[in-house]
């Protein structure tokens, strides 16, 4: 808990106490109270008990230990790209993706007033690295130095703790209320359609059969055999069976740079003939295929 800025500690303690009293309703998230992941958890499940965690690993550990029923983790942003190292964290966690949530992201610039009650000029702004990237043009036009912090709301609490009116924070508007700052400017993100996709992680996977009649997404990772055209052949498994692959990202496993893993989303669920045939063919071409979860689409693909 001491990793959070002092202005956030009381809120963190009260939220953790509430979650401890009813862990099944708790949704773990990375960040201080008021972070975008906090907001996403509350929008996804309004009756939940949000459980703030300092790191993504801490949020996943909360689910594994039973301190939370699930975790809400951001994985990609329409402007900044990949958010969390979900490719490494999720397979190692043993958890499954059981849902997804898309949320429009709006950032506010907030700060403490000068002695005369005015605001600015600002030398720098703290925020999460992705929020800084999403507001890059705004900051550059005002000659403000971007300073990275663990999360957006934590940045607001940190600015409150610093007490320097020349240093601002970029965070969700709710963080200004929580930490006693004043919003100086709204909508400081560089694009109007700034959106983050979150995934919901739990101990037990959803039964694909429970999604019958719904549009579903299946997420998995795989490693192809180290032979020419291996990836081409692997992707052909889905093309020939009429399965739409909506996401494919590569990442290195270990330091040898010899084993490339792929993280993929497809439309459909095990039990669908095309999906079953495609995955069976993929296993022929791959060293490893590991399922990470099947869940209902929150937004139509294609």
Catalytically active residues, by annotation: 196, 198
How far apart CA 159 and CA 138 sit, in angstroms, is: 19
Beta bridge partners of 101: 198
Spatial contact of 220 and 210, defined as CB atoms under 8 Å apart: no
How far apart CA 277 and CA 225 sit, in angstroms, is: 19
- Pairing of β 49-53 and β 26-30: parallel
Residue 258, judged by CB atoms within 10 A of its CB (0-12, 13-18, 19+), counts as exposed
Beta bridge partners of 247: 265
The tokens describing 293, both together, are: 């979860």
Spatial contact of 86 and 199, defined as CB atoms under 8 Å apart: yes
């Amino acid at each position: 808990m001491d990793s959070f800025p002092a202005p956030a500690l009381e809120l963190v303690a009260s939220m953790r106490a509430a979650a401890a009293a009813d862990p099944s309703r708790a949704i773990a998230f990375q960040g201080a109270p008021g972070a975008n992941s906090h907001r996403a958890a509350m929008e996804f499940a309004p009756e939940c008990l949000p459980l703030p965690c300092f790191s993504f690993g801490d949020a996943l550990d909360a689910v594994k230990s039973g301190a939370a029923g699930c975790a809400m983790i951001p994985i990609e942003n329409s402007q900044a790209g990949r958010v969390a190292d979900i490719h490494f964290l999720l397979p190692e966690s043993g958890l499954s993706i059981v849902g997804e949530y898309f949320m429009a992201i709006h950032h506010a610039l907030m700060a403490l007033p000068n002695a005369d009650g005015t605001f600015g000029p600002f030398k720098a702004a703290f925020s999460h690295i992705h929020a800084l990237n999403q507001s890059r043009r705004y900051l550059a036009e005002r000659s403000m130095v971007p300073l990275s912090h663990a999360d957006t709301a934590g940045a607001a609490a940190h600015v409150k703790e610093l007490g320097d009116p020349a240093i601002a924070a970029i965070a969700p508007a709710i963080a200004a209320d929580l930490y006693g700052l004043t919003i100086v400017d709204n909508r400081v993100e560089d694009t109007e359609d700034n959106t983050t996709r979150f995934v919901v992680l739990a101990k037990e996977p959803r039964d694909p059969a429970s999604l019958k009649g719904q549009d579903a997404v299946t997420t998995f990772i795989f490693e192809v055999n180290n032979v020419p055209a291996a990836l081409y052949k692997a992707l052909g498994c889905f093309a020939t069976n009429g399965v739409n692959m909506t996401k494919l990202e590569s990442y290195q496993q270990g330091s040898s740079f010899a084993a490339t893993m792929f993280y993929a989303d497809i439309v459909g669920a095990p039990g669908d003939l095309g999906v079953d045939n495609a995955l069976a063919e993929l296993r022929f071409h791959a060293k490893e295929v590991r399922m990470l979860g099947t869940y209902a689409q929150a937004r139509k693909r294609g």
